[in-house]
Each structure stands twice: as structure tokens, then as C-alpha cells.
Amino acid sequence: MEILGFLMDGFRGALTPMNLLFVFIGCLLGQIVGALPGIGPSAAMAILMPLTFGVPPTTALIMLSGIMYGGMYGGTLTSVLINVPGEAASVMTAVDGYQLAKQGRAGAALSIAAIGSFYGGVASLTAVVFLTPLLSNFALKFNAPEYFLLATMGITATASLGSGSAVKSLMVGVFGLMIAMIGTDPMVGVNRLTFGVMELMDGIDFIPVAIGIFGIGEVLASLEDRKDFVVLKTRLRDLWLTAQDWALCRMAIVRGTVVGFFVGTMPGTGPTIASLLAYAAEHRASKHPENFGKGALDAVAAAETANNAAAQGALIPMLALGIPGSQSTAVLLAALLILGIRPGPMLMSQQPGLVWTLLASMYIGNIMLLIMNLPLAPLWASILRIPYDYLMPGIIAISLVGVYATSLSLFSVGITVLFGIIGYLMLKFELPRAPIVLAIVLAPLMENSLRQSLMLSSGSLAIFVQRPISAVLLLVVLTTLALPIVRHIRDRRKRNSFDE
């Protein structure tokens, strides 16, 4: 009850005209930068921080956090409409969302993403409001062994992603792992597979790779046939969700919220990993896993719900411990420092006004974003009514400039171009592209966590079963690995008896 009182005070603070204005500005800016390829919410928060100089710290934080979760909504737009992930956490949306757009269902994909993001955001926020101290202790129980098993879970999902043979999907996953090996090994500081190229020392970032293989690859493929084609052919009113869509996605949204929120609260992960894991989890839980990669609406719902749930979940370690749960919360913490407020475990007790106003403003912001996105989804989708020929040069140009903006180096642009060509060739050789992204993001987490685990245990593998959460996760991993084999044996028996 005490918490409700604080929250009411928070709303009183957040509902002043000035704060409302800044919530709106933040959400709008987040929506826009989220949609821009390359530049993600964390970079945008840093770039736009000077906008907040001169306003009170609470108002400044309200605006910056608006960019943080607004970006989660905005990232969907470019992923669905032009197959270029707007920000890192929307990459899995590009896989299925664009296929939906090609089928004339861009509006449905955008609508479900908006609803999912809203649900995930508000549910997580409520958990943050009521359970922060409890959950921060739980989040700390996740360390190297648990991260290793989580990453393993995600990586093993690559086998079943994509419509071709499992061997091909796995091979693409291995290719992604190879890319992830490039760079300085953080554990011992030696260079691996950099072949003397300085720009490779920090490894290959996955944003340029994803923009290349999805965005540029798709554009190149579109050049094969010379037709005057328009991507979107359907009428506006066909763009809304049907009752059937809703039935399909309801549980995906709930599952996405749970996965996204918990992964988001862990200090070592973030919205990108959350949405990847939610996608993989949904693939296992879905009644139609065969549709994944070909335009599954529930896949979009799960991934988009999870990234916003994770964006808010990341507030838990930030508020309770002063540790960022994601890149964006790291910038929020930096903003606090620049504004002269010392973050840490006592932030909630020392600055209750600031914290509760911020949380209340996030409820308001999520509502604003829902309004901004849901009725406008068909309108955004109608961008696809522009003849593709006139849209395409812009897609390439904005992708390349956006990639440049992430690292301010032409090297990343080169990576994008290279992977654009690789992406096109992968399309031609019928290789699924999603496993690469999964592998690049999860490989460092998996490798480093394994090594950290063994350092923590002085070399003993028992660490994976001694820790309760780790033991449970290990069981889940083993079960998911064993399941297809068991199923196969069962099918074979059935077929054998049928043959006889």
C-alpha cells in the first residue's frame, strides 16, 4: 500500500504539463531513432542528452527513458517495412515481419508489435514498481554458469530455425560463431583471427552484419526482375488484426513478456538477447513452428513484446543496485552522474521523487506510444505503396549512413556491404539467415561464461549442477536436446509398424 502512495505521488509529478511534454518528446524521438537503421536508443540518448540541459533532472530523465522504450516501439517499423532492423533488439522482427509485409500483412505485424510492446512494457513496469528489491536479488543469482546455459539454449535453437535442412541451418549458425570469434579475446587479451587488421580488434559488431544480410541482401535480390512492383497491394482496412490473429498471438505476448522481463532484469544481458531468446522459446512453444521465418505473426509478437519488457526490466538492477541491465540503462546512469545525482543501491530511498516520477512517466509514455503506433500502423504500412524502385535507393542509403553513425567508421559500412552480398548469396543458396544473428549475439556470452564458470569453480564442471538455477537450466537444455531424438525414435517406430 505504501508503494501505491509513492506511485500516486509519482503520477502527480509526472502529470505536470512540462513533464508530460517531455514524456511525449522522448517517446516521439525514441520512435524516430528506433526506426532509423543503425542508431539505437542508447546512442540516441547520448546524442540527444544536451537537449535536456537546463531542465530539472527528473524531467531530463523522463525524456531520456522515453527514448529508451520509444526506441523499442520504433525499431519494429523499419524491420517490418523494409527488412532493415531499426535497432539491435528488433532484428528477429525483420526475419518474420518482412515476410508478413510481403504477404500484405505489414499492418497486422505492426499492430501486434505495438500491442505486444505495450502489454510487455506495462506488465514489466508493474513488476518493477512492486517487486524491485526482491527481483534484484533474484537477478544476482544469475552469473556465468546460468548465462552459459541460457546462451546454449538460444544457440541450439538455430538448428530448427529456417525451412531447409537442419544441417544447413546449423552450418549457418557455425558461420555466425566464426564471425563472433574475430577480435580480441576478452579473457586473455590476445587477438584472434584479426589477421593484423586494427578495426577487427573489437570484433565485428552484429548491427552492420544484420543490416547487410537482411536489408541490403533483400534489395539486391529485388533487382533480379525488372517489374514495376509495389510491395503493398492490399487495402487499408485489410491491415487490421483479425480474431484469428489475436488468438494466435495472445499466448505469445504473455510468454514474450515473461522471457523478456526476466532476461531483462539480469545484469549481463539486455533487450537484444531477450528478444532472441523469446523468439527461440516461442519457436518451441508455438503450435506452428514451421511458419517461423516465413512470416509468423506470433514470432513478431513474442520478439517485440520481449524487447520492450526487457527494456523496462533492465531498470531493476539499475534502481536497486546502480548496475545497468542494458546499454540504454548504462546511458541513463551516465545521465544521472552528469546531472549530479549519484546512482547506487540507495537511489530509491535518497531520491524517491525522481524514481517514482520516472516510473509513473513510463506508464504514461507507454500509453502515448500505443496511441502513436496502433491507429497509425496501417498508415506507416502505406509507405510500402511507394513503388519499390523509388524506395530502394533510399533503403540502401539510409542503411549505410545509419551504420556509419553507429561507430563513425567506414569500416562498418564496408562490413555491411560485404554482408549484403553474402546475404544475397545465402538467399540464392537457400540458406536461412536468422541463425547468423543468433550466433553472433550469443557466442561471446556463451564462450566467456563457460570460461568464467570454470575459473569460478577452479576447473570443476560441478558448478553447473551445484547452483540451483543452473541445475534447472541444465535440465531444460538437456530435455530440449533430447526431445527431437525421442520424437524421431517414436515416429520411426510408428512408421515401422505402419510399414508392416
By CB under 8 A, what part of segment 150-179 binds other proteins? Answer: 163-168, 170-171, 174-175, 177-178
| Stretch (H or E) spanning 191 | strand 191-192
Residue 172: CB minimum distance to other proteins, A: 9
Write each residue from 243 to 282 as x if it is in contact with other proteins (CB under 8 A), else as -, in one continuous string: ------------------------xx--------------
Among 130, 429, 466, 493, binds other proteins (CB under 8 A): 429
Judged on CB neighbours under 10 Å (0-12, 13-18, 19+), 28 is: middle
Q: Does 394 bind other proteins (CB under 8 A)?
A: yes
Q: What's the min distance (Å) between Cβ of 68 and other proteins?
A: 12
Nearest partner of 114 among 313, 244, 300, judged by Cα:
300
Determine the Cα–Cα distance for residues 34 and 390; give it in Å rounded to an integer: 23
Rounded least distance, CB 390 to other proteins, Å: 5
294 sits near other proteins (criterion: CB under 8 A): no
375 binds other proteins (CB under 8 A): no
The most distant pair of C-alpha atoms in the chain lies apart, rounded to whole Å, by 82
Sole binder of other proteins in the list 233, 284, 385, 490 (CB under 8 A): 385
| Smallest distance from other proteins to CB 117, Å | 23
Give 270 or 365: the residue with its C-beta nearer to other proteins: 270
With helix as H, strand as E and coil as C, how does 341-405 read? CCCCCCHHHHCHHHHHHHHHHHHHHHHHHHHHHCCCHHHHHHHHHCCHHHHHHHHHHHHHHHHHH
C-alpha angle 36-39-44 in degrees, rounded to nearest 5: 105
DSSP β-ladder status, 183-184 and 191-192: antiparallel
Q: Which of residues 460-499 bind other proteins (CB under 8 A)?
A: 484, 488
Residue in 131, 285, 367, 383 binding other proteins, rule: CB under 8 A: 383
* 17 counts as binding other proteins under rule CB under 8 A: no
Q: Is 60 in the site for other proteins (CB under 8 A)?
A: no
- CB closer to other proteins, 1 vs 53: 53
Annotate 185-198 with b (16+ C-beta within 10 A) or e (fewer): eeeeeeeeebeeee
Q: Measured from the CB atom, is 243 or 408 closer to other proteins?
A: 408
- Site for other proteins, residues 126 to 155, rule: CB under 8 A: 140-144
Question: What's the min distance (Å) between Cβ of 184 and other proteins?
Answer: 7
Determine contact, residues 293/438, Cβ cutoff 8 Å.
Answer: no
Told to check if 455 binds other proteins by CB under 8 A, we report yes
Q: For residue 423, what are the CA distances in angstroms to 121, 428, 437?
A: 33, 9, 12
Give min distance, CB of 103 to other proteins, in A. Answer: 20
- Report if residue 238 touches other proteins, rule: CB under 8 A: no
Nearest to 433 by CA among 275, 213, 277: 213
Euclidean distance between CA atoms 433 and 471, whole angstroms: 32
Query: Which grid coordinates belong to 195?
Result: 589477421
Minimum CB–partner distance for residue 279 and other proteins (Å):
21
Contact pick of 181, 251, 367, 376 for other proteins (by CB under 8 A): 181
Stretch that binds other proteins, among 301-309, 355-363, 428-436, 473-481 (CB under 8 A): 428-436
Beta bridge partners of 229: none
Binding-site member from 330, 358, 364, 440 for other proteins (CB under 8 A): 330
Q: Give the one residue of 8, 134, 230, 371 binding other proteins; rule: CB under 8 A.
A: 230
- In the complex with other proteins, the residue whose CB is nearer, 1 or 190, is 190
* Number of residues that make up the chain: 500
Minimum distance of other proteins from residue 281's CB (angstroms): 21
d(CA 396, CA 106): 20
Min dist. Cβ of residue 8 to other proteins (A): 26
Provide the angle, in degrees to the nearest 10, between the axes of the packed helices 2-14 and 106-140: 130
Asked if residue 441 binds other proteins (CB under 8 A), the reply is no
> What is the rounded distance in angstroms from the CA atom of residue 466 to the CA atom of residue 463?
5
Q: Is residue 376 within the footprint of other proteins (CB under 8 A)?
A: no
Min dist. Cβ of residue 312 to other proteins (A)? 18
H or E segment and range at residue 183:
strand 183-184
104 is a contact residue toward other proteins (CB under 8 A): no
